[in-house]
C-alpha cells in the first residue's frame, strides 16, 4: 500500500510538473500578447478563457488586470469560476477525458456567472486603492525570449539545467517503457512522452535566466514539494478511506449534499492542495461529479492570494460570488442525478 501510494504520487507529480513547465514557457513567450488583448477588451470572454488555463497563470493575470482596472468584477468572478488551479493538471493526469469535459463546463458556466454579475451589480471595477506602479511582469524578457539550440560555451549547461533536462527525460522514458503508468492506455502514455520530450528540448534551449528563475526557482522549488506532499497525503487518505471498512462510500452516497457543502467550504481556502482530496476521491469513484464540480467552481488554487493582499473586501466579494455559484450549480447537477 505504501509503495503504491508513493509511486502514484511521484507519477502524478511528474506529470503535473511537465505540464507546468510547458505552461511556464508559453507564459513567458506570449504574456505580452495576452496582456495587451485583455487590457484592450476589458471583457469577460478573454478573462474567462485565460482563467480556464490549467495552473494559476490565468488567475494571476486576471487578478493583476482587475487590480489595475482593466477587467470588471464580473470578468474576474467568471475567471475564478472557470479556474481550477494546479488541480487541473492532476485531473488531466488521473482522468483526462472527464477533465476536459469538466473544463468545458467551467468555461461556459464562468461566462454565465460573469455576465450575471455585471448585469446585477453593473460593470464595476476594482474598489481598493489603485496600483500606480503598473504591471511588473518582466516585459523585456517576454519580448526578447528566444530559444537557442546552438550556443557557444559550456557555462550554459548549469547544474540546474542538467538536472531538469535529465529528470524530465527520465520521466518520459519511464512512462514510455511502462516502468510507470503501465496500466494507462497507450495513447495517454504517448502524449505524456511527447510532452516530456518537447519540454526537455525547451529546457535545453531556453535562456539561463528563464531556467534559473522561472523553471527551477518557481516551478521546481515552489510548486513541486507542495504538489507532491499534498498529492501523497490525499492519496493516502483516499486509500485509507477505501480500505478501512468504515463505510465512507456508503456515508457519502447517503449524505452527498453534505459532502457537496464541505467541498464548497474547503474551496474558499486560497491555496492549492486541500482540494486534491476531492479530486482523488472522485477518481476512485467515491464522490459524484456534482461534488467535484462544486469544488472546482469555488476553488481557484492560490490565484486569489494577490487580491487578498491588495483588498480583503474585494477578496471576500469574489469568493462569496464563487461560493454561491458553486453551490447553485452543484446542487442542480446533484438533483439531475450526477
Write out pLDDT tens, residues 237-268.
766 765 665 565 666 667 788 889 888 888 88
Distance in angstroms (rounded) separating the CA atoms of residues 180 and 67: 44
Section 225-238 average pLDDT = 72
Residue 140's pLDDT is 45
The confidence band for 134, taking pLDDT boundaries of 50, 70 and 90, is very low
Listed in sequence order, the residues at least 6 apart from 112 whose beta carbon sits closer than 8 Å to its beta carbon are 78
Structural domain includes residue 154: no
Q: What is the mean pLDDT of residues 184-191?
A: 71
Nearest partner of 160 among 206, 216, 202, judged by Cα: 216
Q: What integer is the mean pLDDT of 36-59?
A: 70
In a domain, 35, yes or no: yes
The model's pLDDT over 14-36, given as tens digits with 9 standing for 90+, comes to: 776 776 677 667 666 665 555 55
- pLDDT: is 289 or 43 the higher one? 289
pLDDT one-digit tens code per residue, 90-111: 888 888 889 999 999 999 999 9
Could you tell me which of 192, 262, 268, 137 has the C-alpha nearest to residue 12?
A: 192
Residue with the larger pLDDT of the pair 251 and 165: 165
DSSP string, 47-74: HHHHHHSSBSHHHHHHHHHHHTTSS-HH
CA dist 282 and 307 (Å) reads: 30
Q: Please give the tally of structural domains in the chain.
A: 1
What is the Cα–Cα distance from 275 to 306, expressed in whole angstroms? 19
pLDDT category of residue 138 using cuts at 50, 70 and 90 = very low
Q: Please, are residues 171 and 196 in contact by the beta-carbon 8 Å criterion?
A: yes
The reply to whether 138 falls in a domain is: yes
pLDDT category, 171, cuts 50, 70, 90?
Answer: confident
Higher per-residue confidence, 59 vs 129: 59
Is position 113 within any domain?
A: yes
Look at 20-29, 80-89, 110-119, 280-289 and tell me which has the smallest mean pLDDT.
20-29
Is 279 inside any structural domain? Answer: yes
Is residue 236 in some structural domain?
yes
**Structural domain contains residue 174:** no
Residue 246 belongs to domain spanning: 2-146+207-335
% of the chain exceeding 90 in pLDDT: 14
Q: What is the DSSP string of 296-336?
A: HHH-BTBTTHHHHHH-HHHHHHHHHHHHHHHHHHHHHHHHT
How many CB atoms sit inside 10 A of residue 157's CB? 13
C-alpha cell read off for 155: 557555462
Report residue 155's pLDDT band, with 50, 70 and 90 as the boundaries. very low
By the 10 Å C-beta count (0-12 exposed, 13-18 middle, 19+ buried), 184 is classed as: middle
Q: Model pTM?
A: 0.66
Per residue in 284-298, pLDDT tens?
Answer: 888 889 999 999 999
Q: Are 202 and 25 in contact (CB under 8 A)?
A: yes
pLDDT of residue 332 exceeding 90, the answer is: yes
- Is residue 200 one of the residues assigned to a domain? no
C-alpha to C-alpha distance for 11 and 9, rounded to whole angstroms: 5
Among 154-158, 165-169, 276-280, the range scoring the smallest mean pLDDT is: 154-158
Amino acid at each position: 500500500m505504501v509503495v503504491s501510494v508513493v509511486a502514484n504520487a511521484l507519477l502524478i507529480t511528474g506529470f503535473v510538473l511537465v505540464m507546468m513547465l510547458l505552461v511556464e514557457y508559453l507564459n513567458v513567450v506570449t504574456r505580452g500578447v495576452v496582456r495587451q488583448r485583455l487590457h484592450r477588451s476589458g471583457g469577460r470572454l478573454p478573462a474567462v478563457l485565460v482563467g480556464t488555463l490549467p495552473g494559476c497563470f490565468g488567475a494571476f493575470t486576471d487578478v493583476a488586470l482587475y487590480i489595475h482596472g482593466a477587467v470588471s468584477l464580473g470578468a474576474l468572478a467568471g475567471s475564478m469560476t472557470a479556474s481550477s488551479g494546479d488541480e487541473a493538471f492532476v485531473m488531466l493526469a488521473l482522468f483526462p477525458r472527464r477533465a476536459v469535459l469538466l473544463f468545458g463546463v467551467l468555461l461556459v458556466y464562468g461566462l454565465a456567472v460573469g455576465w450575471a454579475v455585471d448585469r446585477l451589480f453593473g460593470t464595476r471595477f476594482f474598489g481598493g486603492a489603485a496600483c500606480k506602479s503598473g504591471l511588473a511582469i518582466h516585459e523585456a524578457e517576454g519580448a526578447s525570449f528566444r530559444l537557442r539550440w546552438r550556443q557557444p560555451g559550456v557555462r550554459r549547461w548549469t547544474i540546474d539545467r542538467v538536472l531538469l533536462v535529465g529528470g524530465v527525460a527520465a520521466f518520459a522514458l519511464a512512462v514510455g517503457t511502462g516502468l510507470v503508468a503501465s496500466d494507462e492506455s497507450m495513447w495517454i502514455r504517448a502524449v505524456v512522452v511527447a510532452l516530456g520530450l518537447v519540454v526537455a528540448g525547451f529546457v535545453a534551449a531556453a535562456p539561463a535566466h528563464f531556467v534559473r528563475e522561472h523553471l527551477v526557482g518557481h516551478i521546481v522549488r515552489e510548486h513541486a514539494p507542495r504538489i507532491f506532499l499534498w498529492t501523497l497525503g490525499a492519496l493516502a487518505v483516499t486509500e485509507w478511506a477505501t480500505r478501512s471498512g468504515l463505510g465512507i462510500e456508503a456515508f457519502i452516497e447517503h449524505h452527498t449534499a453534505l459532502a457537496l457543502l464541505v467541498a464548497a467550504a474547503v474551496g474558499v481556502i486560497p491555496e492549492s492542495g486541500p482540494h486534491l482530496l476531492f479530486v482523488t476521491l472522485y477518481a476512485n469513484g467515491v464522490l459524484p461529479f456534482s461534488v467535484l464540480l462544486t469544488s472546482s467552481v469555488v476553488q481557484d488554487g492560490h490565484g486569489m492570494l494577490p487580491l487578498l493582499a491588495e483588498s480583503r473586501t474585494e477578496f471576500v466579494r469574489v469568493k462569496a460570488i464563487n461560493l454561491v455559484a458553486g453551490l447553485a450549480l452543484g446542487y442542480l447537477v446533484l438533483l439531475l442525478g450526477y
